[in-house]
Amino acid sequence: MRDDPAVMPLRDRRVPVGGVELQVVEEGPADGPPVILLHGFPESRLAWRRQTGPLAAAGLRVVVPDQRGYGRSGKPGRIGDYTLDILAGDVVGLADALGIGRFAVVGHDWGAILAWHLAERFPDRIERAAVLNGPHLATVRRHMLGHPSQGLKSWYVGFFQLPWLPEKLLRARGFAGMRRLMEKTARPGTFTAEDWALYRDAWEQPGAATAMLNWYRALRRRSPSPAPEPIGVPMRVIWGDRDAALDPGLAEAGASLCGRCEVFHIPEATHWVQHEEPERVNRLLIDFLTRPPA
């Protein structure tokens, strides 16, 4: 066990997956139940710096990639390289490359969207899935029809579709725009000066700004899909209710698509729930991830 669970150590390596190389860190016993942690925008594996140690100390084999387009991982240049099916293929391919069969997945923000998708499409591989402040995409349009305020909150998704301008604004003055985006939507003091230095290093990697935005731009390439089948994989939703971009009701909207799902609201937390309430989030994750199969 590490003395400081907020510090990432590590077994750090590059793993070829799906035509890209993913930078991946691992911690915990090699024979522990495997769990893959998936970050969102505009983070990197740093998103889980307060979770990795405690989950590993609980006996889990923790795998944390910089996802495609982020941090030190590969950054393909085409928007079509960031569709949800390709991103899900990265996660399953990473498990294959590491000799992992069935595994749990935990996602935040875009990582949560991907976790919903994995649970729905790969029930033979996903043991269980936890999502933090990220909707199931099939619920968003219907939710916006009943809650117009969500449409206003989602303005940035349309803005990110524009070419070059979003990158220019986010990169301006040493990525001050990216930092401001996170600071404005988090509780004061959530991120430290050391955090910002690490985030900026990830954002400054060649091609990173465009690659991160291409996750949003690839949404236009989603084919309309039929109503999803009920998700049979055990799910746990953890939601910071003061999220500036996502209504709390999206947690229940996603849960309505599941056969087995528990929802936990943290009223005082924002979108950055695992940063702001790490002890509570870690307890909820460890309880869920170490629970014997039903």
Catalytic annotation, residues: 109, 216, 271
How far apart, in whole angstroms, are the C-alpha atoms of residue 67 and residue 235?
22
The partner residues of 61 in beta bridges, in order of sequence, read: 34
Give, rounded to a whole angstrom, the gap between the first and last alpha carbons of the chain.
Answer: 29
How far apart, in whole angstroms, are the C-alpha atoms of residue 250 and residue 239?
9
Nearest CA among 237, 232, 262 for reference residue 248:
237
CB atoms within 10 A of CB 259: 11
How far apart, in whole angstroms, are the C-alpha atoms of residue 70 and residue 195?
16
DSSP letters, 153-193, are HTHHHHHTTSSSHHHHHHHHHHHHHHHHHHHHTS-TTSS-H
CB atoms within 10 A of CB 154: 15
Regarding beta strands 20-27 and 103-108, do their DSSP bridges make them parallel or antiparallel, or are they unpaired? unpaired
CB atoms within 10 A of CB 128: 22
